[in-house]
C-alpha cells in the first residue's frame, strides 16, 4: 500500500517537473515557481531543483532569492558548474560589491578539495576503500604466495589512508550542508555597532549579499561580510542558507 502511494506520488512529481519546465519556457516564471514550491513542500530536494528555482527568481528580478537558491544548489552539489556560472551573473547585479578578502592558500585548497565531490561521493569512495582494505588484509592472511602477501600488505595500508581521508571529507562536506552559517540579506538595511536600534550605523548591506552569521542575541545576528566587516543586524533582514 505504501509502495503504491509512493509510486503514484513519484509520478505526479514528474508531472510537476514537466509542467514547471513548460511554464518556464512560456516565460511564466511565477507559475513555474509554484510547481517547484509544491515539489519542495513534498520534502523533495536536489541541487538542480534549487538551481531551477533560482533561475525563475532571477527572471522575475528577485535577485535576493535568486542568489539564495543558487547558493543552496551549490551547497547540495558544490560541483554544479551551471549554478556557479549563474550565481556569478546574479552577484554582478547586486547594488553593492564586496571585495572578497584573500583566503590563505591552504584554506582555499581545502575547500576546493572538499567541494570537488559531493558528500555522498566521498562516502561511497570511503566505503570502496574500506572494502579494499579488508580484501588486502585477507590476501595477506590467507594467501601462501609471498609476493601477493607483500602487495596485499602495502595496498591495505594505502587503502586505509584513503578510507580515513575520504571519510573525513564526507563528514566535512556534509557538515557544510547542514551546519552552514552563511546567510543571504533579504532587505536592504543598516548594520549596527551593537544589537539594538539606537546604536550607530556602521555600513549598509544590500539585498542578495552573502554574509556569515557568527553570533546571535535575541532577534539580532552578528554578521560578517566577505571583506571582513562585522556588525549586528535584525534577524528578519537575512535568511540562513541552512
Partner 1 sequence: MKRISITIIFVLAAICAFSQNVTFTGKTSASVVGVGQRIQLQYDLNQSPSSVELGNISGFKVVGGPSQSTSTSISIVNGRTTQSRTVSYTYVLEATSEGDKTIGAATAVVDGKKYSSNTISVKVQKEPVTQQSRQSSSYDPFDEFFGSPSQSQHRSAGINQQSASGAQTVSKDDVFIRVNVSKNSLVKGDCLTAVIKLYTCVDLVSITDYKAPSFNNFYAEEIEQTQNTWQREVVNGKTYNVSVLNKYLLYPRMSGSVEIEPAEIKCIARVRTGQRSFWGYVYDNVEVRAISPKVTLNVENLPQAPADFCGAVGNFKINISNVGDSASVNEAISYKVTISGEGNFNVIDAPKLNCPNEFEQYDPVVSQKIKTTDSNMSGSKTWEYTIIPRYGGDFNLGNISFTYFDKNSKSYKTISTDDVVISVRKGADDNTVVREYNSQNGVQYINDEDIRFVKTKLNLVASYVPMVFSGTYFIWIIGLLIVFVVLVILMHKKIRNQQDVELMKRKKASKVSRKRLKQANKFMQQGNKTEFYKEIIRALWGYASDKLGIPTANLTKDNVSQAFAERNVNEELAHNFLELIETCEFAHFVSAHDDNEMQNIYRDTVKVIEQLEENIK
Residues of this chain that interact with partner 1 (CB under 8 A) are 13, 17, 21, 24, 39, 42-49, 51-52, 55-56, 58, 76, 82, 85-86, 88-90, 92-93, 97, 99, 119-120, 123-124, 126-127, 130-131, 134, 137-138, 141-142, 167, 170-171, 173-174, 177-178
Q: How far is the CB of 41 from partner 1 (least distance, A)?
A: 12
- Min dist CB 145 to partner 1, Å, is 15
- CB 211 to partner 1: min, Å: 20
State in angstroms the smallest separation of the CB of 238 from partner 1: 24
Q: Which is nearer to partner 1, 94 or 191 (CB)?
A: 94
Element (H, E) at 99: none
139 neighbors 148 (Cβ within 8 angstroms): yes
* Identity of the residue, 215 or 227, whose beta carbon is nearer to partner 1 in the bound complex: 227
* Nearest distance, CB of residue 67 and partner 1, angstroms: 12
Burial label for 77, CB within 10 Å (0-12, 13-18, 19+), is buried
- CA-based R_g, the chain, Å: 23
Q: Which is nearer to partner 1, 17 or 202 (CB)?
A: 17
Chain centroid offset of residue 109 CA: 17
Q: What is the DSSP string of 176-237?
A: HHHS--EEEE-S-EEEESSSSTTSPEEEEE-TT-EEEEEEEETTEEEEE-TTS-EEEEEGGG
Of 34 and 127, CB closest to partner 1: 127
CB of 58 to partner 1, least distance (A): 6
Q: Which is nearer to partner 1, 144 or 197 (CB)?
A: 144
Shortest CB 79 distance to partner 1, Å:
13
Q: How far apart are CA 9 and CA 42, in angstroms?
A: 9
Q: What is the dihedral of CA 195, 196, 197, 203, to 10 degrees?
A: -30
- Rounded CA-CA distance 15/166 in Å is 37
Nearer to partner 1, 66 or 237 (CB): 66
Beta-carbon count within 10 A of 20 CB: 25
Closer residue to partner 1 (CB): 44 or 190? 44
Are the CB atoms for 30 and 38 separated by under 8 Å?
A: no
Amino acid at each position: 500500500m505504501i509502495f503504491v502511494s509512493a509510486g503514484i506520488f513519484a509520478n505526479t512529481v514528474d508531472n510537476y517537473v514537466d509542467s514547471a519546465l513548460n511554464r518556464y519556457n512560456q516565460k511564466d516564471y511565477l507559475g513555474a515557481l509554484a510547481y517547484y514550491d509544491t515539489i519542495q513542500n513534498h520534502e523533495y530536494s536536489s541541487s538542480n531543483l534549487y538551481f531551477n528555482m533560482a533561475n525563475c527568481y532571477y527572471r522575475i528580478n528577485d535577485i535576493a532569492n535568486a542568489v539564495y537558491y543558487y547558493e543552496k544548489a551549490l551547497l547540495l552539489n558544490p560541483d554544479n558548474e551551471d549554478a556557479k556560472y549563474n550565481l556569478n551573473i546574479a552577484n554582478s547585479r547586486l547594488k553593492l560589491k564586496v571585495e572578497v578578502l584573500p583566503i590563505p592558500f591552504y584554506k582555499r585548497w581545502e575547500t576546493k578539495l572538499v567541494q570537488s565531490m559531493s558528500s555522498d561521493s566521498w562516502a561511497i569512495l570511503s566505503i570502496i576503500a574500506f572494502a579494499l582494505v579488508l580484501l588486502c588484509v585477507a590476501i595477506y592472511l590467507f594467501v601462501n604466495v609471498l609476493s601477493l602477501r607483500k602487495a596485499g600488505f602495502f595496498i591495505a595500508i594505502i587503502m586505509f589512508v584513503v578510507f580515513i581521508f575520504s571519510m573525513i571529507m564526507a563528514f566535512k562536506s556534509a557538515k557544510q550542508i547542514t551546519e552552514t552559517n552563511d546567510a543571504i540579506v533579504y532587505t536592504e538595511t543598516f548594520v549596527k555597532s551593537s544589537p539594538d536600534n539606537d546604536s550607530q550605523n556602521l555600513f549598509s548591506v544590500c539585498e542578495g549579499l552573502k554574509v556569515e552569521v557568527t553570533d546571535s542575541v535575541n532577534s539580532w545576528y552578528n554578521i560578517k561580510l566577505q571583506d571582513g566587516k562585522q556588525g549586528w543586524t535584525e534577524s528578519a533582514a537575512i535568511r540562513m542558507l541552512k
